Amino acid sequence: MVEAAPNRLTLCMITRNEEDFLEKCLASTSGVVDEIIVVDTGSSDRTVEIAERHGAFVSFFPWNGDFSAARNASLERATSDWILVLDADEELVVEDRPGIKAFLAKSEAEGHLVQIRNYTGMSSQPEVELSAAVRLFRNRWEYRFSGALHEQVGENILKARSGSASGTVLTPAPLRINHFGYLSDLPKARSKSQRNLDLARLQVEANPENGFILFNLGVEYHRLNRHQEALECLEKAAKYMAAGAMWGSKLVKTTVISLMKLGRWDEAVVRIDEGLRVYPEYTDLVYLEGVAHHSARRYRQALGSFYQCLAMGPPPVPPYAAAEEGLAGHRAHYALGQCYEDMGRVAQAARAYQVAFESSAGWLQPLYRLTALVLPREGPAAVRAYLERYFDLDRQGPLVTLADIFCVAAGHAVALEYLNRAVQIAPPTAQVRYLRGICLLRTGRYNLAAEEFLQVPEDSPYYRQSALGLCFSYWSEDRLSEARAVLDRIGADQATFLSLAAMFFEEAAIVLREGLKRFPESELLRKALVDIGADQAGRLEAGPAAPPRTGSSYDSAH
């Protein structure tokens, strides 16, 4: 082995068909690492070419279903004092890079916990969950990974230094990693989850009383929304979990979310109270307590929980894991708005949504809720005056976003104004065509709506909803054979008919709401609006333009 210079740093990676990510990953380590070791397990794309262009030493390792074996093969080739471990779908946070070498020069620890920013949900408006893992450690022969899936090195470092205080063996590092691999709209996301599930099952079969392995299987079931199976694995994992396990806080949180997904609100609150005795600074659990109370219509208790989140601030990561960003800030304000809205306290709800939006960068969901809440009460002029302060009205993108917000709030005439301005700036996109179709449909101009929907291409993410709008427009004009032809083309399954039913319910609700504006004392109209289940219909359709996700992984239980 070549003798290492003091404080040299080797990047160790394993890869397989990572050409979409690897370029950015390696570029993020430029000027930070002195050596790059890539162990490839069978790429058939440009992965190896990209690695070699960045100066990596590439070797090949036949895939055997064991991530630790491949990871340790990369460690064997490292020649530096320190090891940095990254996956291809990760990047170093730019602001942290300059201080890494100086930090290592002063470090007396054997390894360091690094904060990992896990991006989940959709790429357009991702959620960020914070976790911690040992990714930076000294290059010693006894420090090796174990576990075929979600392989770990930290426990093995602690075992190797069992005579030392754990607080000095592993310490936090001022380094953050962005991880993009679990974004749900990436092509590999679903196959990655299924692969991990298969590996986790095999591990559990071989080690049925290993808490960490049971935990990993539970997490994979959770990611695939198989919550009953997740809960069973997580409860078994808790029985075998060692005191002080690094993954303990995430185990508690994932268990609570699984209970909530199954509608078991009171059990979730009991688990939260138990968890807070062990993890008293874990704001995520207090937030979940608020969600559980809200879901059970205990609004005052929910308000107390969300205000407590604001008072607590974000949890420390490390040592805690799976902490979602914003739960002690803008997302707590948003949750307060939902509670106040359900309590009928409109002014307080509106203020909470305003604070949620104004205290977050680029998170638009509060504006959707705020507009839907205030528009029927204060009218379009007041809402436009507020919203337009935050958008560049000389660009198509912001105009389309404003149109989308008003569409969801049933302000279709205003939305159409914004869309007409947008097409004067640039040619209409598929989204613009779709939104214009919705606005024309909701204002009774079905023939013009159909013309817009017909121009949405089949490869667009708006195609299916446009086809439903086209079918609705034909139906509304008694062009029944054309409506049936559209249904035949897109597949007349149960989901399609439910979506169409939601559109008809919403149309009826719009007519009734307009009637109530003219005859506000009419109990007959008000009862009809309740009887058609307008609120439920609105949830089925989720708004005309499928607004951005709320940002919180708990909102579906909310």
CATH code (residue 77): 3.90.550.10
Express each pLDDT in 74-86 by its tens digit. 999 999 999 999 9
> Rounded CA gap, 21 and 11, in Å?
16
Domain termination site, one of 277, 305, 333:
305
Same domain assignment for residues 175 and 294: no
Instruction: Please report whether residue 298 resides in a domain.
Output: yes
Whether residue 178 sits in one domain with residue 210: no
pLDDT score of 539: 35
pLDDT for 516 beyond 70: no
Mean pLDDT to the nearest integer, 301-310: 98
**Residue 289 predicted with pLDDT over 60:** yes
Same domain? 64 vs 182 = yes
Residues 126 and 217 in one domain: no
129 and 33 co-located in one domain: yes
Indicate whether 25 and 99 sit together in one domain.
yes
Answer yes or no: do 256 and 182 share one domain. Answer: no
Range with lowest mean pLDDT among 155-164, 304-313, 468-477, 479-488: 155-164
Q: CB neighbours of 372 closer than 8 A, spacing ≥ 6?
A: 408, 409, 410
Listed residue (513, 523, 539) closest to 375, CA to CA: 513
Do 93 and 209 lie in a common domain? no
This prediction has a pTM of 0.84
Q: Give the C-alpha separation, 50 to 16, whole Å.
A: 12
Domain count, the chain: 3
Q: Would you say 93 and 178 are in contact if contact means Cβ atoms under 8 Å apart?
A: yes
Q: Report residue 167's pLDDT band, with 50, 70 and 90 as the boundaries.
A: low
In a domain, 351, yes or no: no
Residue 101 lies in a domain: yes
Look up the domain containing 133 and give its range.
9-187
Going through 362-517 in order, the beta strands assigned E by DSSP cover: none
- CATH of residue 436: 1.25.40.10
Is residue 469 included in any domain, yes or no? Answer: yes
Whether 149 and 60 map to the same domain: the answer is yes
